[in-house]
Structure 1
Amino acid sequence: MQRAKNANMTVVIGGGIVGLSSALALARAGQRVIAYAPRDDAAPSWGNAGHIAVEQIAPLASRAALFAAPRKLFAVGGALDFPPGMARHWLPFAWRFLRATAPRRFLAGQAALEGLMAGAMPAWRRLVETLDAPDMLSENGHLVAWESAASAKAGQRAWEAAALGTATLAPADARTQAKLAALTEARLFGPVAFTGSGQIRDLSRLHDCLRTALVDAGVEVRERHADLALSNGRASIDGVAPDAVLIAAGTGSRLLMEQTGHRTPLIAERGYHIRASANRWPADLPPVVFEDRAMIVTRYEHCVQAASFVELGDPAAPPDPRKWRRLERHVAELGLPIEPPYRRWMGCRPTLPDYLPAIGKSRRASNLFYAFGHQHLGLTLAPVTAEIVAAMIGDAPPERDLAPFDIERFQTNGRIS
């Protein structure tokens, strides 16, 4: 790609899906881009459930989630864990989460997230077309099933009452129910099929396609961490102040933002998965959520993956093997056609207390921008976030109100809230 010699220089920090997508969008918008994107097998972008979750417009910071938390704890068989040894990380986060569940804040957050999510699937279509890999995106929805009539009734009622954005749901048809029945030795109740959602068929291929597209677009990719500093009201990298710096480094964004004077209540929300050969899993089955176990199973091109858990704490702490063992037990108890040997993985979702991302321009450094904190929706929102970032850095008129995603929303009278 040819660019004018006087094109602006932008540095993007982050090797996950948001960082790489943003670097590509900026380059294609005419910026000269350097991307600091160290390869990291633990990056959550490349180990998530592959689900384009356009139905999840309700922030998880809600009174409903708060009241349901005790019965979802890991200690009683659920997927939510507050490890005592990581209390210094999750106690401050939990207090801010509690404040974010106030009905007024929840409704404002849902409205903001709904507007952002409305552009998610169209942005994904545009991205995969430009990657010359349209088959990478599946728009076959996903399935949710339960293991008892009572939980199915309650689960169906909750989903039918929920705001779903651009997604819809209906009872699964007879053919789909037959497929699910053949998949598991357990009896499933009331499966529902979502339309409007989708999945990425293979995260490794997506990663490779993005890396190739970056090189083709003229992006200089540096596979190391950036040396960020603040001087005279401008962010600099390795002692040089470019026209723009974008922080999109997942859980690593907290330290980077603090180096530029921002207090950022970001936590690592650790998730776990197991992967195995996909030999016996139907290739045409969309992601299946076993809601009683808070587990989603996704078929990729070369493997099948079972994922679960919300473990709040330290991104650098060792994984908890009990989570993998429980996933393996879930698979065995359901009689799913997923057989060892398993590949075990743990990754950290970057999450803010109100479960909204941080997208905007810094008020503390004139050339600093940020896009992080997408929690469970990083894959879903990456392309639309990239388009927003490219427009914002390029001084294009904003297409949507970004005030709800301003990181300064956590500051009250100079204190973090």
Structure 2
Amino acid sequence: MQRNMVVIGGGVVGLASALALARAGWSVRLVDDDLQRSAASWGNAGHIAIEQVEPLASWATLRSLPRRWFGAGGAVSLPPAAWRHWLPFGLRLLGAARPGRFARGRAALSGLLGEAMPAWRRLSASLDAPDLLREQGHIVAWGSAAAAEAGRRSWAAADIGTAAFRDATPAELHQLPGTPRAGAIRFTNTAQVVDLGALDRALRAALLAAGGTILSGRATLALAAREARLTVDGTAVPHVGQLLVTAGVASGRLLAPLGHRVPIIAERGYHIRATDHDWPADLPPLVFEDRSMIVTRYAGCVQAASFVEFAGIDTPPDPAKWERLEAHVAALGLPLRPPFTRWTGARPTLPDYLPAIGRSARAENLLYAFGHQHLGLTLAAVTGESVVALAEDRASAIDLAPFDLQRFNA
């Protein structure tokens, strides 16, 4: 097997995978067409969410939809104009939510998430970016006593893997910005990336230092003699040994010419950012669970993020989502002042809420790692380590069989 790899996609999963391959001795070229850094990797909440073991494809999620509907004040949106995207996806999600499939998905995610923090510690320590990873947990808070009691019970009953939490102390409750919260819990061993821009720069610098190269352009694939052939901006790329697709929500479109039918959707999130604020410097990510919103202090701003909008890659953004976020900030009395910058990005989500990590059954030289839904940042480091084992045809520390794309053809 040739030890040269072309990685398609420069989000956090692609960069972490390319870096891991380069450090393992592979000759790596990374192809990236996201010059504006618009991918979900660079607009997320910065939270290393090792507690999210239970796939969102579940009966519990489906039962909660009426109260989570955007029209009823919630965070879930199905734009009517995008029905061709969310209707077939939703039907597949119904099948994935069956108890047996949910249990298998939970076991599979547990394996990945159980190794996520150790992998992040290794990756962070290897980068020239001190204090990029902050292990101070995160806080989940509620506005009413009834919501707090129900929320505590729900988290106590959930499978949270290696994560742990306790009740927030009175001092911690008092520290929370805005209107007083009736109750909160503090996760004690989750983490945060403190600057997504710094992470991007550090990963790229490390990749170049390890001998990798970065190409700018739009990749397309074709199949010939059971091998994937690559062009970038219409020009054939020579000397391609292996290919790794880490193109987020665009991966489905990229793999279609090879005969892969990938039921991926753009599960879009929205955020607003304020540079004028009085947010406590030492406060970890704060989840306002009854408003489905997470607020994170980054190096140069404070960000409020929310929403699960099922749409297409090119569906126009909905300004009502940003307006809702600004209304939440005002209603909660949060010390964030306009003007706010606005962003929307597409989480790459598959119907069972498991990523796709494996080797193509159609192109012998092609691997893939995408579809990490809300967990792209969380799982980037461990995915990169797993990809090296996959590329070298050796056993991974994690069972990757549940993440094979063939599961959608069964």
Tell me the TM-score normalised to structure 1 length: 0.95
Give the superposition deviation at 1:133: 2.2
Range with bigger deviation, 266-275 or 187-196:
187-196
1:172 aligns with 2:165: no
- In structure 1, the residue matched to 2:207 is 214
Of the three residues 217, 223, 246, the one matched with 2:216 is 223
State whether residues 221 and 255 of structure 2, in contact with CA within 8 Å, keep that contact through their aligned partners in structure 1. no
Of the three residues 336, 348, 351, the one matched with 2:349 is 351
Q: Which amino acid letter does the alignment assign opposite residue 111 of structure 1?
A: A
Q: Which amino acid letter does the alignment assign opposite residue 153 of structure 2?
A: R
State whether residues 359 and 372 of structure 1, in contact with CA within 8 Å, keep that contact through their aligned partners in structure 2. yes
1:254 aligns with 2:252: yes
Question: Partners of 1:175 and 1:259 in 2: how far apart?
Answer: 57
Of the three residues 277, 282, 285, the one matched with 1:284 is 282
State whether residues 113 and 161 of structure 2, in contact with CA within 8 Å, keep that contact through their aligned partners in structure 1. yes
- In structure 1, the residue matched to 2:104 is 108
Q: Which amino acid letter does the alignment assign opposite residue 24 of structure 1?
A: L
- In structure 2, the residue matched to 1:149 is 145
- In structure 2, the residue matched to 1:70 is 66
- In structure 1, the residue matched to 2:334 is 336
1:237 aligns with 2:222: no
Q: Which amino acid letter does the alignment assign opposite residue 64 of structure 2?
A: A
- In structure 2, the residue matched to 1:20 is 15
Question: Partners of 2:131 and 2:121 in 1: how far apart?
Answer: 10
Q: Which amino acid letter does the alignment assign opposite residue 148 of structure 2?
A: A
Give the superposition deviation at 1:278: 5.5
Q: Which amino acid letter does the alignment assign opposite residue 30 of structure 1?
A: G
Question: Partners of 2:162 and 2:190 in 1: how far apart?
Answer: 8
Question: Partners of 1:352 and 1:292 in 2: how far apart?
Answer: 26
Range with bigger deviation, 394-403 or 311-320:
394-403
Question: Partners of 2:380 and 2:23 in 1: how far apart?
Answer: 16
Question: Partners of 1:216 and 1:65 in 2: how far apart?
Answer: 44
State whether residues 7 and 30 of structure 1, in contact with CA within 8 Å, keep that contact through their aligned partners in structure 2. no
- In structure 2, the residue matched to 1:415 is none
Cα deviation, 1:95-139, whole Å, max 9, x if unaligned, reads 000011100000110001001101101111111111122400011
SS of the residue 1:369 aligns to: strand
- Extract unaligned runs of 5+ from structure 2: none
Range with bigger deviation, 66-75 or 40-49:
40-49
- In structure 1, the residue matched to 2:366 is 368
- In structure 2, the residue matched to 1:117 is 113
State whether residues 276 and 338 of structure 2, in contact with CA within 8 Å, keep that contact through their aligned partners in structure 1. no
After superposition, residues 364-403 of structure 1 pair within 5 angstroms as 364-403=362-401
State whether residues 278 and 302 of structure 1, in contact with CA within 8 Å, keep that contact through their aligned partners in structure 2. no
1:137 aligns with 2:130: no
Q: How many residues are paired up?
A: 404
Cα deviation, 1:353-377, whole Å, max 9, x if unaligned, reads 0000000001111111000000000
Question: Partners of 1:125 and 1:360 in 2: how far apart?
Answer: 24
Give the superposition deviation at 1:398: 2.3
SS of the residue 2:19 aligns to: helix
Question: Partners of 1:227 and 1:325 in 2: how far apart?
Answer: 37
Give the superposition deviation at 1:165: 0.6
- Extract unaligned runs of 5+ from structure 1: 1-5, 413-417
State whether residues 358 and 407 of structure 1, in contact with CA within 8 Å, keep that contact through their aligned partners in structure 2. yes
Range with bigger deviation, 164-173 or 231-240:
231-240
Question: Partners of 2:90 and 2:256 in 1: how far apart?
Answer: 20
Question: Partners of 2:88 and 2:42 in 1: how far apart?
Answer: 28
- In structure 2, the residue matched to 1:301 is 299
Question: Partners of 1:66 and 1:77 in 2: how far apart?
Answer: 17
After superposition, residues 47-58 of structure 1 pair within 5 angstroms as 47-58=43-54
Q: Which amino acid letter does the alignment assign opposite residue 77 of structure 2?
A: D
- In structure 1, the residue matched to 2:91 is 95
State whether residues 234 and 368 of structure 1, in contact with CA within 8 Å, keep that contact through their aligned partners in structure 2. yes
Question: Partners of 1:196 and 1:104 in 2: how far apart?
Answer: 30
Q: State the identity %.
A: 56
State whether residues 278 and 299 of structure 1, in contact with CA within 8 Å, keep that contact through their aligned partners in structure 2. no
State whether residues 235 and 241 of structure 1, in contact with CA within 8 Å, keep that contact through their aligned partners in structure 2. no
Range with bigger deviation, 289-298 or 398-407:
398-407
Cα deviation, 1:213-260, whole Å, max 9, x if unaligned, reads 111111110011123211100011134462210000001100111121
Change (3 A) 1:132 1:41: closer
- In structure 2, the residue matched to 1:265 is 263
Q: Which amino acid letter does the alignment assign opposite residue 28 of structure 1?
A: R
Cα deviation, 1:298-331, whole Å, max 9, x if unaligned, reads 0001100000000001111111000000000000
Cα deviation, 1:267-293, whole Å, max 9, x if unaligned, reads 000000000016411110000000010
Question: Partners of 1:14 and 1:40 in 2: how far apart?
Answer: 13
1:190 aligns with 2:190: no
- In structure 1, the residue matched to 2:5 is 10
Question: Partners of 2:155 and 2:220 in 1: how far apart?
Answer: 45
Question: Partners of 1:410 and 1:247 in 2: how far apart?
Answer: 18
